[in-house]
Amino acid sequence: MSTTLASGSSEVGRLARSVLGIFKLRIGVMIMVTGLVGALVAPTASLGVGQWLVLAMSVLMASASAGAFNQYYEFESDARMGRTRNRAFVTGALRRRPLWLAVMAAMLAGAVAAAWQVLNPLAAIFVFLGAFFYGVVYTVWLKRRTWLNIVVGGLAGSFAVLAGAAAVDTQIGALPGLLAVTLFLWTPPHFWSLAIANEAEYAAAGVPMLPVVVGPERAAQAVFVSAVLLVAGSLLPVAFGAGLVYLLCSVAGGTYFVYRAWQLTRSVNRGTAIGSFLASIVQLSAVLVGASVDAWLR
Query: Hey, do 10-169 and 173-298 end up sharing a CATH topology, with the first three levels equal?
Result: no
Q: Are 60 and 28 in contact (CB under 8 A)?
A: yes
What is the phi/psi pair of residue 158, to 5°? -65, -35
Q: Are 172 and 138 in contact (CB under 8 A)?
A: no
pLDDT in tens, 25-65: 888 999 999 999 999 998 776 789 999 999 999 999 999 99
Band (pLDDT 50/70/90 cuts) for residue 6 is: very low
CA distance 52 to 252: 29
**Mean pLDDT across the stretch 271-288?**
97
| CB atoms closer than 10 angstroms to residue 132 | 18
Taking the domains of the chain in order of start, what are their residue ranges? 10-169, 173-298
**Cα torsion angle, 138, 142, 143, 147, sign:** negative
Give the per-residue pLDDT at 9: 55
Indicate the pTM of the whole model. 0.91
CATH of domain 10-169: 1.10.357.140
Name the DSSP letter for residue 172: -
Which pairs from 137-144 meet CB under 8 Å and 24+ separation? 139/66, 139/69, 139/70, 139/73, 139/74, 140/73, 143/74, 143/207, 144/77, 144/206, 144/207, 144/208
pLDDT in tens, 55-92: 999 999 999 999 999 999 999 888 888 888 888 888 88
CATH of domain 173-298: 1.20.120
pLDDT at 2 over 60: no
**Mean pLDDT across the stretch 200-204?**
91
